[in-house]
Amino acid sequence: MKSIVILISGRGSNMESLLTAVASGALPVRIAGVLSNRPAAQGLETAARQGVPTCVVDHQQFASREAFDAAMAEAIDRFSPDLVVLAGFMRILTDGFVRRYTGRLVNIHPSLLPSFPGLHTHRQALEEGVRIHGCTVHFVTPALDHGPVIVQAAVPVLDDDDEASLAARVLAQEHRVYPLAVRWFAEDRLRLVDGRVLLDAAQDATGVLIAPQAS
Ligand code: GRF
């Protein structure tokens, strides 16, 4: 069975969706550890409560991004994971770090990339007046919030939405697509061809675009 480590910085609800999927048998991976760059990250307690080893590499203790990333990589490699899963990990990673994990580093971003990279994605979506918003799971490349897309989920933007209501609608889909994407990786069903992800979907009715009903 493949093993993963999950990197978080805060609340850790995406991490929790992965833990829940593993506990229910829906996600056939071993969660080797949860790492955080913030000692106070709420998700660390959630992981510890569920018996998952945790580790903090506090970025404030390092003089440079390079030094922090080297320490983080060392902490990750102690778990020898097959896949590194960024789940609300709020640090920009150096090219060296990203290259070290090429093809085995994934991220979830709360927009339909390439729209709205960076922060405040829900505010950006409301300001642009888009009618469809969503989330993306992608392999990580050195460019921020960029890289081969594994799966996207779309949600409607409603007239009376504010940032909080839109974020909640997107987050519900994040919790659905991240376990799915990690499962595909675990089952060796993702292939990178010319910088794009191909999913061997033969045995799965779920496609790579999730488009739920308006709610
Ligand atoms: C999520 O919206 C994720 O897409 C983004 O940061 C948020 C983290 O939430 N990268 P959580 O820590 O998983 O609850």
Look up the CATH number of the domain holding residue 85.
Answer: 3.40.50.170
- Whether residue 83 is found in the same domain as residue 145: no
Overall average pLDDT of the 160-186 stretch: 97
Ligand 1: distance of its center to the CA of 42 in Å? 12
Residue closest via CA to ligand 1's atom 2 equals: 110
Cα within 13 Å of Cα(17), Cβ side? 22
Residues 6+ apart with CB under 8 A from 30: 1, 2, 3, 4, 22
Residue 42 near ligand 1, beta carbon < 6 Å: no
Ligand 1: distance of its center to the CA of 202 in Å? 30
Q: How confident is the model at residue 200 (pLDDT cuts 50, 70, 90)?
A: confident
Residue 134 near ligand 1, beta carbon < 6 Å: no
> What are 110's two structure tokens?
């709360």
Q: What is the pLDDT of residue 33?
A: 98
For residue 197, give the nearest of 142, 155, 136 by alpha carbon: 136
Residue 16 near ligand 1, beta carbon < 6 Å: no
Ligand 1: distance of its center to the CA of 62 in Å? 24
Beta strand 149-156 with 105-109 is: unpaired
For residue 180, give the nearest of 213, 204, 160 by alpha carbon: 204
DSSP percent split of the chain into helix, strand, coil, nearest 5:
35, 25, 40
pLDDT tens-digit series, residues 87-134: 999 999 999 999 999 999 999 999 999 999 999 999 999 999 999 999
Whether the model clears a pTM of 0.85, i.e. scores above it, the answer is: yes
pLDDT tens-digit series, residues 22-81: 999 999 999 999 999 999 999 999 999 999 999 999 999 999 999 999 999 999 999 999
Asked if 30 and 208 touch (Cβ cutoff 8 Å), the reply is no
Structural domain ending residue among the three candidates 69, 101, 133: 101
Q: What is the pLDDT of residue 214?
A: 53
Q: What is the pLDDT of residue 16?
A: 98
- Whether residue 92 is found in the same domain as residue 111: no
Q: Counting beta carbons within 10 angstroms of the beta carbon of residue 156, is it exposed (0 to 12), middle (13 to 18) or buried (19 or more)?
A: middle
Ligand 1: distance of its center to the CA of 139 in Å? 16
- Whether residue 86 is found in the same domain as residue 129: no
- Whether residue 46 is found in the same domain as residue 60: yes
Asked if 109 and 99 touch (Cβ cutoff 8 Å), the reply is no
Asked whether residue 203 carries a pLDDT value surpassing 90, the answer given is no
Q: Counting beta carbons within 10 angstroms of the beta carbon of residue 163, is it exposed (0 to 12), middle (13 to 18) or buried (19 or more)?
A: middle
b/e burial code for range 105-133 (CB count within 10 A of at least 16 → b): bbbbbbbbbeebeeeebbebbbeeebeeb
Structural domain ending residue among the three candidates 56, 79, 101: 101
- Whether residue 87 is found in the same domain as residue 111: no
- Whether residue 89 is found in the same domain as residue 116: no
Residues labelled as active-site residues:
109
Closest ligand 1 atom number to CA of residue 107: 10
Angle between helices 121-128 and 163-186 (to 10 degrees): 120
Structural domain ending residue among the three candidates 42, 66, 101: 101
- What range defines the domain where residue 41 resides? 1-101
- Concatenate the DSSP letters of all residues of 107-141 into one string: EEESS-TTSS-SS-HHHHHHHHT-SEEEEEEEE--
What is the count of structural domains for the chain? 2
Residue closest via CA to ligand 1's atom 6 equals: 88
Residue 94 near ligand 1, beta carbon < 6 Å: no
- Whether residue 10 is found in the same domain as residue 87: yes
- For residue 197, the cross-strand partners are 192
- Whether residue 62 is found in the same domain as residue 94: yes
- Whether residue 112 is found in the same domain as residue 186: yes
